[in-house]
């Protein structure tokens, strides 16, 4: 079963996709877009403990609009949801770091990185909805 969570603001977005491969193993992908640049890493792993901690922190944030909720697949990905002003809105900061490897034949191999580090606003009226979407997103992988 595929699940998706997407946070969109003008010019930027953060999209989480998940599915199961032919053997039933979970795959996580995150796509970050910012001002025309796009980076996708489809080989991320979110530890069960880290997923549960993030959902707990996000639930507490949704109720109080204090503190923050952090989801990380270090060092490739980190997202933090924190208060943004007194109106109950949130700021979603993120960093997605993709390693690139190229086999150049006789010239050897080369490596590099693509990184998008940015943030986007999340209106307070959508915080509960995104919390539910993340619960559904990670529920698929409750035993992963």
- 3-state SS assignment for residue 23: coil
pTM, entire model? 0.86
CATH number of the domain bearing residue 127: 2.30.31
Of 31, 27, 3, 28, which is closest to residue 15 (Cα–Cα)?
31
> Residue 89 domain-assigned?
yes
How many domains does the chain contain in total? 1
Chain-centroid distance, C-alpha 94: 7
> Residue 19 domain-assigned?
yes
Range of the domain at 63: 3-139
pLDDT in tens, the chain (144 residues): 578 999 999 889 999 998 777 776 677 899 999 989 999 998 888 888 999 999 999 999 999 999 999 999 878 999 999 999 989 999 999 999 988 877 766 666 778 888 999 999 999 999 999 999 999 998 744 444
Burial pattern 50-59, b for ≥16 Cβ within 10 A else e, equals ebeebbebbe
> Residue 123 domain-assigned?
yes
User: Helix-strand-coil percent breakdown of the chain, rounded to 5?
Assistant: 25, 50, 25
> Residue 144 domain-assigned?
no
């Amino acid at each position: 079963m595929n699940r998706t969570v997407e946070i969109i603001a003008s010019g930027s977005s953060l999209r989480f996709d998940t599915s199961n491969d032919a053997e039933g193993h979970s795959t996580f992908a995150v796509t970050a877009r910012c001002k025309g640049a796009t980076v996708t890493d489809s080989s991320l792993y979110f530890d069960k403990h880290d997923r549960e901690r993030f959902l707990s922190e996000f639930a507490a944030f949704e109720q109080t609009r204090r503190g923050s909720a952090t989801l990380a697949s270090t060092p490739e990905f980190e997202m933090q949801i924190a208060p943004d002003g007194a109106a109950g809105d949130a700021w979603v900061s993120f960093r997605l770091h993709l390693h690139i490897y190229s086999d150049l034949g006789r010239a050897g191999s080369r490596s590099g990185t693509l990184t998008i580090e940015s943030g986007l606003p999340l209106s307070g009226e959508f915080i509960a909805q995104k919390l539910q979407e993340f619960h559904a997103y990670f529920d698929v992988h409750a035993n992963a």
